[in-house]
Amino acid sequence: MTSPIILAVDTPDIELAKRWISATRESIDVFKLGLEFYLSHGFGGISAIQRETGAEIFLDLKLHDIPHTVSKAVTVVSALEPRFLTVHASGGEAMISAAVKAVSSTSITAVTILTSLSQDDLSEIGFQGTALSAAQALANLAVKAGATSLVCSPHEISGIRKNVGDGVTIITPGVRPADEISADDQKRTMTPSEAISLGANFIVIGRPITSRWAKGSEQMAERAAQILDSVQR
């Protein structure tokens, strides 16, 4: 069974990324590499991580452009066969569908509403209604366009799950273990087990695990194992 934890490998340092992955491989199967890493090391960097660690990759590029441009960009990275590749759901149905058509084995993963946006931010951008209703509308649109995974806040999991059914993979960041004192810059967090019991298939966790690196790779491995244990109980 695939571990429900996705480690956010938020570093531009390729050697450190490999070490973090190796240290946590026993508890984690999928590793999220984002724009910071991709802009630093590109296609070759992702490929090196895959080759040297055997990790499955969540490629978090959050693409958002006209359908033709997104299709071409997705075609480039689809050769890496990441397990997940993110696009913004607000790019619209044609853009998401173009991304879906450009991959074979990768799950196109639509990001609904960024959790960094407040209700006021959303109104300013022009969204009507609540963050939840906007996220639900974007999730419905993305699934209709062929996206097979969605990223949403833990607070939107149940509202989205009830609309999209069990066939769609829901991935949520913004989780913090119950014993973690610092939420860092995350707001309105939930614990990993709460997010899973609400219907998330995967939780994205970074600093609660990666910050342990300073104390050694065993400490980091132990933290990942503890979190896995907390969701499997």
Residues that bind ligand C5P (CB under 6 A): 8, 10, 34, 114-115, 173-174, 184, 186, 204-207
Q: Which is nearer to ligand C5P, 121 or 184 (CB)?
A: 184
Please state the closest distance from residue 206 (CB atom) to ligand C5P, in A: 3
Q: In whole angstroms, what is the distance from residue 80 CA to residue 31 CA?
A: 14
Q: Annotated catalytic residue: which of 62, 144, 162, 215?
A: 62
User: Which residue, judged by CB position, is nearest to ligand C5P in the bound state?
Assistant: 206
Q: In whole angstroms, what is the distance from residue 214 CA to residue 193 CA?
A: 26
Dihedral sign (CA 40, 64, 97, 152): positive
CB neighbour burial string for 95-108, b if at least 16 within 10 angstroms, e if fewer: bbbbbbebbeebbb
Please state the closest distance from residue 10 (CB atom) to ligand C5P, in A: 5
Q: In whole angstroms, what is the distance from residue 21 CA to residue 7 CA?
A: 8
Q: Which is nearer to ligand C5P, 70 or 180 (CB)?
A: 180
Active-site residue 62, yes or no?
yes
Please state the closest distance from residue 205 (CB atom) to ligand C5P, in A: 5
Q: Which is nearer to ligand C5P, 162 or 188 (CB)?
A: 188
Q: In whole angstroms, what is the distance from residue 218 CA to residue 229 CA?
A: 16
| Residues known to be catalytic | 62
